Amino acid sequence: MRTVVVICSLVALALSSGILQPDYIVADGPPGSPGIFANQPSKAAAADAAAAKAASAADQPVEVTVNSVIKSCFLVAENEGQVGLQAMIQLVWTDPKQKGPKEGKMLKPTDTLNPDIQFLNSVHTELRKEKLVAYPGGVIRNTKRYYLTLQESMNYKWYPFDIHMWSFDMNSFSETTDKLVFKPGYLITDPGFETPVFSFGKNDMQIRTVDAPLFPGQNYSTLRVEIVAKRQQSYALQNFVFPLTVVAGLGYLSFWVSPTGALPARAALCIISILTTLVISGDVAKNLPKISYTTWIDVFINTVLFFVASCCGFMILASRSTKNAKNGVNIWDYYLRMIYPCVFGLMLVILLGVGLVASPTESSVLKQASDAKSFVAFR
């Protein structure tokens, strides 16, 4: 009897201490039914799960949202293909270790993750000011004020109706995609953001992953800020297109001068028209970089040059012809007085129409820039 009592005492002690307690709990079942046994994880298993969850969270890359405000354009050097922009870049991420008050708490760059930023197509980068603030919930906002001198690839095919896409590509110099990933935020331009030459319309942000050629296997999250710059045509129209049209009219006046009685005056009109066209062509070349392709303004200048040069050829034909039309007017001059303005006017309308209608739009330039291949230009 004593032996039975000892065994029962040992069993009761083991159950109370949890040595023989099963890893099951009784869960409530439907009304009137017995309880259902459910698996109950042990404390060690729960600790392991919490550690695994923390490790998994640590392995996830930090998502950094990028907000940008383009403040001004302080440089447009078209001959060098360089553009200077003043930009406010704000990086936003979450750091659970930092919890600031509602109005924000100033931090030092060493207090939290502070991604180092490089601009891939910038020939000169100047960081003027930086402000690092922590908000409730561990939200960190790092606002940087940059002055960037960017190397841009511009297309002058439709000058002066050309539209360009200015952009800057930025990523972290050291944090690869397994540690940091950019997310696009908002991109705005100040209302007064324009230059005497360019106005700015649509903009966009895009994210790509690019590899580092010097470090094989390392990929970097890269964000591109795109701004569409549209040339204001008033300068070119007033200083190039309109004067060239007047020069073509000056050549037309030679058809009203007698090819026999006033030949020197007629020759002077033709020569002056040709020289003036060449001078304006030189002024156009000064406003454009040295490019190897033909632009819209080149076609227009060559068209005017052809018309004024043809006046010299018709002058020679009229001086050698003795056949007259009505009122004793040379037959060449009689018909050219009607044909020349009609043909030139038609060519002028066609060229201006093509320049205004067929030139790229802001949407088409922005769409073309979204091509993934364009990101490799600054690798």
**Token pair 């109706």: residue:** 161
CATH number of 235-357: 1.20.58.390
For the segment 12-18, the average pLDDT, to the nearest whole number, is 53
Decide if 62-232 and 235-357 have a common fold: no
* pTM of this structure: 0.74
For residue range 163-215, list pLDDT tens digits in order: 999 999 999 888 889 899 999 999 988 877 788 889 888 888 888 888 877 77
- The answer to whether 85 touches 73, Cβ cutoff 8 Å, is yes
- Name the strand (E) or helix (H) holding 366: helix 362-369
Distances (CA, A) of 33 to 26, 37, 38: 12, 12, 15
Is the CB of residue 85 less than 8 Å from the CB of residue 189?
no
Q: Is the pLDDT of residue 38 over 80?
A: no
Q: Count CB neighbours of 155 within 10 A.
A: 16
Q: How far is residue 260's CA from residue 242's CA, in Å, rounded to a whole number?
A: 32
pLDDT in tens, 203-246: 888 888 888 777 778 889 999 999 999 999 888 999 999 999 99
Q: Which one has a higher pLDDT value, 313 or 52?
A: 313
Six-digit token pair at 208? 């790509």
Complete DSSP assignment for 214-268: TEEEEEEEEEEEEEEEEE-THHHIIIIIHHHHHHHHHHHHGGGS-TTTTHHHHHH
Across 3-12, 13-22, 262-271, least confident range = 13-22
What is the reported pLDDT for 295?
A: 94
User: pLDDT grade, residue 330 (50/70/90)?
Assistant: confident
112 is written with which tokens? 């939290």
Q: Is the pLDDT of residue 32 over 50?
A: no
Q: Where are the domains of the chain?
A: 2-57, 62-232, 235-357
Q: Rounded CA gap, 74 and 350, in Å?
A: 36
pLDDT, tens only, 348-364: 999 999 999 998 888 88
Reply yes or no on whether the pLDDT at 131 is more than 80.
yes
Q: What is the mean pLDDT of residues 269-296?
A: 92
62-232 architecture in CATH? Distorted Sandwich (2.70)
Looking at residue 322, its pLDDT comes to 75
Q: Does residue 119 carry a pLDDT above 60?
A: yes
Mean pLDDT within 318-345: 85
Q: How does 212-250 read in b/e, with b if 16+ C-beta sit within 10 Å?
A: eeeeeeeebbbbbbbbbbbbebeebeeebbebbbebbeb
Q: Residue 311: helix, strand or coil by DSSP?
A: helix
